[in-house]
Amino acid sequence: MSDKPEGIVEILIDRETISGRIEELGREISAAYKDRTPLLVGVLKGCVLFMSDLVKEITIPVEMDFISLMSYADAHRPSGAARITKDLDCVIEGRDVLLIEGIIDTGMTAGYLLRNLEARRPKSIRVCTFLDKEARRILRIPITFRGFKVPDRFVVGYGLDFRQLYRNLPYIGILSDAITGLNRY
């Protein structure tokens, strides 16, 4: 996919750069959890492409599970409070958990999930995020493994969406304000 689809104004991180960084992350995670079998908990759906590439670069045994949180878009419906829409299949008590996020910006989703997972008494819990949009942070999130820091632009691709589209792009692109609606403000 060499041509940019309509709405992508710039490729922020190309696939080669992504691939190189994920190899490094795989090595870092393998070293950090040496002699252990961490449980990688992917936060759907933004984590999917990142996590599938990441696990291939991890050289120690790992287990995988997924979790999903209701979107804030649903807060505008009756009884709009965050809740888990897809819970873990396994028990995490006593486990070394590594939460895998596609992106952390305000930190609200990660913060909610950390609180929820910590209550299940894992042995340890750490955070790995592919992208870190620090400029938008509201909640402090302890990030142990970070792919890239990104500027305060609307990014899509490599699992990240806008209205469920663009997840399949093999790179991180910046989405046009005309698509997001931000050009009106």
Comparing CB distances to another protein, the nearer of 30 and 68 is: 68
Comparing CB distances to another protein, the nearer of 91 and 135 is 135
Residues that are catalytic: 105
Contact of 116 with 82, CB cutoff 8 Å: no
Partners of 155 in the beta sheet? 174
Between residues 57 and 137, which has the closer beta carbon with respect to another protein? 137
Within 10 Å of residue 40's Cβ, how many Cβ atoms? Answer: 22
CB of 45 to another protein, least distance (A): 6
Q: Which residues pair with 78 in a beta bridge?
A: none
Beta-bridge partners for 65: 41
Beta carbon of residue 85, minimum distance to another protein (angstroms, whole number): 8
Residue 75 near residue 62 (C-beta atoms within 8 A): no
User: Is the alpha carbon torsion for 160, 166, 167, 169 positive or negative?
Assistant: negative
CB of 10 to another protein, least distance (A): 17
**Exposed/middle/buried for residue 151 (C-beta within 10 Å: 0-12, 13-18, 19+):** exposed
CB 42 within 8 A of CB 67: yes
Comparing CB distances to another protein, the nearer of 15 and 167 is: 167
Tokens describing residue 56: 């291939």
Residues that bind another protein (CB under 8 A): 44-46, 68-76, 80-82, 102-103, 105-106, 108-109, 111-112, 115, 136, 138-140, 152, 154, 160-164, 180-182, 184-185
CB of 158 to another protein, least distance (A): 13
Q: What residues form DSSP beta bridges with 146?
A: 129
